[in-house]
Amino acid sequence: MKKLVSMFALGAMAVGLSLGSSAAARAEGAASPAKPVIVDVALQGDGVLLGQVVNPQGAPLAGAAVRINDGKQQLGTAKTNQDGYFAFQGLKGGLYQVNAANGSGMFRLWAARTAPPSAQKGALLVSGQDLARGQMLPRLRTWMQNPWVVGGVIATAIAVPVAIAADDDEEEPVSP
């Protein structure tokens, strides 16, 4: 019986903690989406950005439309050649988004002599890279922020072992 009481006390504490953390998460606002990865790229002479568009298997995509913008406006469009390469001219250092064939990337462009040693020589876009994979995770996160759902999961996790333990206690004694 002591075991049963301590299990209920532990369960009640777990429900209280989960409801409190859920309320705190709601008070802070919804989880912010993941920040995009920003890749440093060194511009070629005269502000030329070189890049390539490939499919998920790494094969180049010929004839893909490529767009570049600075967050305020579209700065230009280009088409990839037979090897998937494209180029934009007249760019300055700064943050740019490049979109092509269901793929996009954020690039911090650097003038040739100011680029850090880790900067890439060109931009690589993978077509289909932006597809939503694992789409259930955001929905699961939404459900798990609901205190009723969390409480139900915890209550079930407590009630099932308690019911099993209670059932084991009610077995008839074996007579010798």
- The predicted pLDDT at position 171 comes to 58
Q: Is the pLDDT of residue 101 over 90?
A: no
Pick the more confident residue, 22 or 107. 107
pTM tops 0.75 = no
Give the pLDDT band of residue 169 (cuts 50, 70, 90): low
State which of 6-15, 114-123, 124-133, 159-168 shows the largest mean pLDDT: 114-123
Report the percent of the chain where pLDDT is more than 90: 19
CB 144 within 8 A of CB 137: no
Both tokens of 18, joined, read 């989960």
How far is Cα of residue 127 from the mean position of the Cα atoms in its chain?
18
Instruction: Name the nearest CA neighbour of 84 among 103, 70, 97.
Output: 103
What pairs with residue 39 in β-bridges? 107
Q: Report how far residue 67's alpha carbon sits from residue 79's, in angstroms, rounded to the nearest whole number.
A: 9
